[in-house]
Structure 1
Amino acid sequence: MKTFVKWVRRVIITGMVFVMVIYGVSYMMAAPQLGQGHYIKLYDQSEKLFYQSNQQSNDIALKDVSKDFLASIVAIEDHRFYSHRGFDPIGILRAVKANVLEGGKSEGASTITQQYARLMFLTNEKTWSRKITEAFLTTRLEAHYDKDTILQGYINTVYFGHGIYGIKNASRYYFNKDPKNLDLNEATMLAGVVNGPEYFSPFKNMTRAKERQKLVLDQLVNEKYITQDKANQIYKTPFQLNKDPSSALTLSYPYYKDAVIKELEELGFYKESYINQGLNVQTTLNPTVQDKLNQTVDNQMKDKEELEISSMIVDSHDAGVLALVGGKDYATSQFNRATSAKRQIGSTMKPLLYYIALENGFTPTTKFKSEPTTFQLDSGKTYAPTNFNKKYANSDITLAQAIAVSDNIYAVKTHMFLGEQALVNALSKFGFTHVSPHPSLALGTLNTNIYSLANIYTTFANEGTYNDVHTITKITNDHGDILYERKNKDEQLLNKETCLILNQLLTAPFNKAFNTYTSATMSAYPTKTTFAVKTGSTSYDSLCAGFNPNYTILSWVGYDDNREMTMATDSKIPKVIFQTMANELQKDESWYKPTEKLQQIPINPISGEYQENGVVYWFKNN
């Protein structure tokens, strides 16, 4: 016991010395700059600002905020805020007791000043260097600013969920009110949300929101701000929430912003050492294209309660993302399905398979029989894929027709003919690793998202030249120093002539001449100018991906919980989006030109024989 007491005493003395040192240094250091540095600014391709991180904004004064909210946020987050100097010794001891002496129960002890210091850095890295930096910033804030200034910065900075930062945005989002007009019921709810914005939001779970509010009310009773009778009355009062919260969102293009932040992380710049310098990020965003995509998605997803969507438009030349949607409503779900979903891509896999086939001697007229087929595998098992709606030609069909109608039997026969490893090897060129060879891979049993899939399609669109799909072109700091500047890879990853043959073949889904035993997949969705396209579907997903020399367009719809899509109209949404955006973006004809290594031959679309007035496809010169 004596040893334990000595150990505790040493820890306390060491802690006191440490605190004295950092406070002394903090007083000697300059005051931290509020509202300068520690930001991220995102600019579109015309160098116009479309997003600035809300951190450290002091855009509303305490006098313009409800006293009930100020009392509530202090009571629940740091009720000794006005008496401590940045760290709460009582709170720390309570947390130690809970975490160490009571069986590992997790309890925090962060003060409002500590939270504000953390928020100023935008990140939550759990490293000792961040904790030490946060401690110094906490003491510097306390050394150079009064409590009201710190509280003002905190309430303007803290996150309230649904992409909302700051009390002004939160009060408008949740209640369609200015902060000064919040009543006690609203104020206590908002103060409670801060602890777990997504968990305690009344838009997501009213029961949890009221339970959290009760803790705030109880704390106000303890602080003698209100009586217990008043607390009981408020707890029983329902919230009058904003009926149209999305109208209060001020964040422009939130899913695109999140895609940029994700790329910042991947490039290594979403760190305190860079954010503290201020980051100015030049992106490939085209607001006109983004606005049109938003409008198109909104029109198609109207009244779709649980169906979700992702969609993006990419510059075919350099793979820069012009527009991106990661869900139908950012206020409801911030999960970015365009960049982070893991879904099967269905028949949008087939163009890569057919590229390999064309590289290995196939032509637009190469034939396989479309009929119910059971494949005998080397393992002794069998595989029996089916065509959509179990419709078959029951005769030989050409590669052109197989692409037009998305014939599964033709695809699997091609896959087995080439060898299952061939498609796996081709996928590895685009960063898809740990893919197992299997007959079903030809039908798109790969789990990925449209952002990753776009790397394949933009390479086709760029005649075999590969560039990473990206949103960031340049990063500078607050002093104008260039931290990063993108250089295109321009890697000739695929054969140019083979891509050109494939691209011409991928116009077949629009051609009504292929409407025989089943319909060409895009024959009901023609575009005004020439595009290549491929649809894809599973029981749970529907996709459409296509391109021309200028634009690559990809869309997906499905349910987050992987339930089956039973409405035929839902599965058509990606096709409608493709058609709408293709017609909006491309006003004049723009299509590929065959090189001298290729010849143009008109063929009968069904028989594949030469036909003077037939459909023109491209063939390699012998």
Structure 2
Amino acid sequence: MKKLIKIFITILASLAGILLSFYIIAYSMGAPDLNKNRYLKLYDDNQEIYYQSINDYTGHYVTLDNVSKYFIDSIVAIEDQRFYEHRGFDPIGIMRAIKVNLTNQKKSQGASTITQQYARLLYLTNEKSWSRKFKEAFLTMQLETHLNKDDILEGYINNVYFGHGIYGIENAAQYFYGKSAKELDLNESSMLAGVVNGPTYFSPLNDQKAARKRQTIVLNALIDCNKINNQQKQQVLKSDLNLATEHKINDNLANNFYKDTVIDELEELGYYNNTYLNQGLNVYTTFNQGYQKVLEKSAKDYTKDSEVETSSIVVEPYTSKILALIGGKDYTISQFNRATKSNRQIGSTVKPLLYYLALENGFTPSTTFLDEPTTFKLEDNTTYSPSNYNNKYAYKDITLAQAIAVSDNIFAVKTHLFLGTDNLASLIKKFDIKNVKSNASLALGTVNTNIYNLANMYNTLASEGIYNHVYTIEKITNNEGDILYQHKAEDKQMLNQDTCLELSQLLTATFDSTYSTYLQATMAAYQLDNINACKTGSTDFDNLAVAYNPNILVASWVGYDDNRKMKSTNDKTVAKKTVVDVLNYTNENKDVTWYQPTKNIQAIAINPLTGDFDENGIIYWFKKE
């Protein structure tokens, strides 16, 4: 037994020695850089700043003297009661967390101190790895050996996240209560301190019941620390929430969906890390505030009385610049970027890619198939019985032009099986879309992706076959003005120019009511003053629309986050109305033109319903023999 005790003491002494060595190293490296000069500035296409990182917000940083004592006591009580006693790591808290995690499988508990959280906020990304944990631990030691506790706490409360796109206690006080951080009372302070642990779950703007429950835990912690008594606790719980009637901060939060997309791109390019951020980053983007306002207004106007969500993206053909983007209707409620991260079935918006292949293989606008209920026997001896919208059929031959105009499913599947299902799957995969299954239903859009990727595909059609991946970042410079990155166009001729032009002319048919016979032309209700290509798509759970001309491309999606079926007629039209708003805005602010056929293409007027030559018919483009 004595031998075991001696071994145990030796191990403890060794660990203590190692820990002391790390503290000495941390101290010898000098005072940590608090990154007060570190910044991230995003510029729009007019080189005006539309976002700058929280560490550089003039007037938003507050000293402890300008923060309510109630909030300071509350945040310490709930996040790190022993903050003023430990040296960055709390052994008692760690042992308590281990005990809870071992004895209660339904409840987990962390043991991060305020200093550790501050280190994470200042220096580190959210990457989950042992490497990150080691760096966090070392930075914690560096903070503790060079700063006093009040400096650490002050830095922490100015950087911590309160949800709704809000960082820092001053912003939070203004946003939730319409007052300064110094004016917060016990009720308001205990509520905000509770929000920090889970901004999405404990925000009183999202769930008042959950927020009150969390506030009670904060008040109990204050009692444990002898900062308040039970009478004060009961008085708070009986009082109103006292939330502001309007929730505002200086930032335009709607821009944050675009900002988040830029940061994702920064990460992909390798510039969103301490090596570059500590130099100060000026990021010149393709952001166009005019188009952004159109998307924001459309989302607000068309979804205000519904739980439905929407996302949209605007791209400039040929350059592939992303001019505007929203990932949801309200960033303050949900920061999830549906434009780039929500993978949903794209429905009939896949059909232009299918018809591109058809035109490449001898189809023309006049090509016809019999449209009637059809059961297809597939190569594996199974059967497939697709249906048209509302089970409506022409019961006669229809042209490719009309099939596009009304989004006929029978025509699409016949084309798909005629060409071979592998061809469409292969084309979609060229755009880096994963998990594409080569089957009969692929012609109707049974592939999951987001509108960011969808716009990337359509942009190649809109750019006459030239591929450049859509992007937001033009140039990156540091604080010294050194150019760290400059965007370079790839200009890859991925698709045939003539075929893309022929297809674009065909996609104008969706606006033409001439085709509204057994089914309505999908965009016939929306008449514009200029020529545009458009394709819509729908499933039981999603509605999409993509439209373009040589000047602009817009893609929009609408649906429910919980995959409820789309039933409301108004909800189903949100995507269509949004693309029309963008097209109209473009027509009002630019000299919009239409494509010109090459020398390999001839314009021929046809009867749109039969495909026969008709000098009084609709003009489509045909490749010369």
- Whether the aligned pair in 2 keeps the contact of 1:117 and 1:137 (CA below 8 Å) is yes
Structure 1 residues 178, 269: closer, same or farther in 2, change over 3 A?
same
1:237 to 227, 239, 242: 239
The alpha carbon displacement at 1:439 in A equals 1.5
Structure 2, gaps ≥5 residues long? none
Are 1:619 and 2:607 counterparts?
no
2: CA distance between counterparts of 1:418 and 1:525? 33
The alpha carbon displacement at 1:159 in A equals 0.7
- Partner of 1:245, secondary structure, is coil
Give per-residue Cα distances to partners, 1:178-224, cap 9 Å, x unaligned.
Answer: 21221111111111111122222223333332222122111211221
- Whether the aligned pair in 2 keeps the contact of 1:368 and 1:410 (CA below 8 Å) is yes
Q: Partner residue of 2:204?
A: 202
Q: Partner residue of 1:118?
A: 120
Q: Partner residue of 1:168?
A: 170
Are 1:560 and 2:561 counterparts?
yes
2: CA distance between counterparts of 1:576 and 1:421? 34
Alignment of 1:38-77 (within 5 A): 38-55=38-55, 59-77=61-79
The alpha carbon displacement at 1:461 in A equals 0.4
- Whether the aligned pair in 2 keeps the contact of 1:34 and 1:56 (CA below 8 Å) is no
Please tell me the residue identity of whatever aligns with 1:485: Q
Alignment of 1:381-530 (within 5 A): 381-530=382-531
The alpha carbon displacement at 1:433 in A equals 3.2
Please tell me the residue identity of whatever aligns with 1:22: F
- Partner of 1:506, secondary structure, is helix
Moved more, 51-60 or 585-594: 51-60
The alpha carbon displacement at 1:93 in A equals 4.1
The alpha carbon displacement at 1:290 in A equals 0.8
Alignment of 1:127-146 (within 5 A): 127-146=129-148
Structure 1 residues 575, 133: closer, same or farther in 2, change over 3 A?
same
1: CA distance between counterparts of 2:105 and 2:293? 53
State the identity as a percent. 54
Give per-residue Cα distances to partners, 1:544-595, cap 9 Å, x unaligned.
Answer: 1011112110001111111111111221111111111101013433111111
- Whether the aligned pair in 1 keeps the contact of 2:124 and 2:132 (CA below 8 Å) is no
Give per-residue Cα distances to partners, 1:531-551, cap 9 Å, x unaligned.
Answer: 110011111111110111121
Moved more, 459-468 or 133-142: 133-142
2:298 to 296, 315, 326: 296
Structure 1 residues 476, 131: closer, same or farther in 2, change over 3 A?
farther
The alpha carbon displacement at 1:129 in A equals 3.4
- Whether the aligned pair in 1 keeps the contact of 2:551 and 2:592 (CA below 8 Å) is no
2: CA distance between counterparts of 1:217 and 1:313? 48
The alpha carbon displacement at 1:37 in A equals 4.8
Moved more, 481-490 or 435-444: 481-490
The alpha carbon displacement at 1:172 in A equals 2.2
- Whether the aligned pair in 2 keeps the contact of 1:311 and 1:555 (CA below 8 Å) is yes
- Partner of 1:120, secondary structure, is helix
The alpha carbon displacement at 1:96 in A equals 4.7
2: CA distance between counterparts of 1:102 and 1:592? 66
Number of residue equivalences: 621
Cα root mean square deviation, aligned:
2.2
Structure 1 residues 283, 420: closer, same or farther in 2, change over 3 A?
same
Are 1:596 and 2:599 counterparts?
yes
Q: Partner residue of 1:264?
A: 266
Q: Partner residue of 2:342?
A: 341
Give per-residue Cα distances to partners, 1:475-527, cap 9 Å, x unaligned.
Answer: 33344444332222111110000000001111111112222222211111122
The alpha carbon displacement at 1:271 in A equals 3.2
Please tell me the residue identity of whatever aligns with 1:301: T
- Whether the aligned pair in 1 keeps the contact of 2:35 and 2:278 (CA below 8 Å) is no
Moved more, 109-118 or 328-337: 109-118
2: CA distance between counterparts of 1:95 and 1:134? 19
The alpha carbon displacement at 1:104 in A equals 11
- Whether the aligned pair in 2 keeps the contact of 1:465 and 1:493 (CA below 8 Å) is yes
- Whether the aligned pair in 1 keeps the contact of 2:253 and 2:332 (CA below 8 Å) is no
The alpha carbon displacement at 1:35 in A equals 4.2
Moved more, 268-277 or 210-219: 268-277
Structure 1 residues 497, 86: closer, same or farther in 2, change over 3 A?
same
Moved more, 444-453 or 424-433: 424-433
2: CA distance between counterparts of 1:475 and 1:508? 42
- Whether the aligned pair in 1 keeps the contact of 2:459 and 2:553 (CA below 8 Å) is yes
2:609 to 581, 598, 606: 606
Moved more, 80-89 or 393-402: 80-89
- Partner of 2:54, secondary structure, is coil
2: CA distance between counterparts of 1:478 and 1:579? 41
Q: Partner residue of 2:27?
A: 27
Provide TM-score, normalisation by structure 2. 0.94
- Whether the aligned pair in 2 keeps the contact of 1:169 and 1:249 (CA below 8 Å) is no
Provide TM-score, normalisation by structure 1. 0.94
Structure 1 residues 2, 217: closer, same or farther in 2, change over 3 A?
farther
1: CA distance between counterparts of 2:392 and 2:32? 70
The alpha carbon displacement at 1:347 in A equals 0.8
Alignment of 1:74-89 (within 5 A): 74-89=76-91
- Whether the aligned pair in 2 keeps the contact of 1:245 and 1:331 (CA below 8 Å) is no
Structure 1 residues 595, 8: closer, same or farther in 2, change over 3 A?
farther
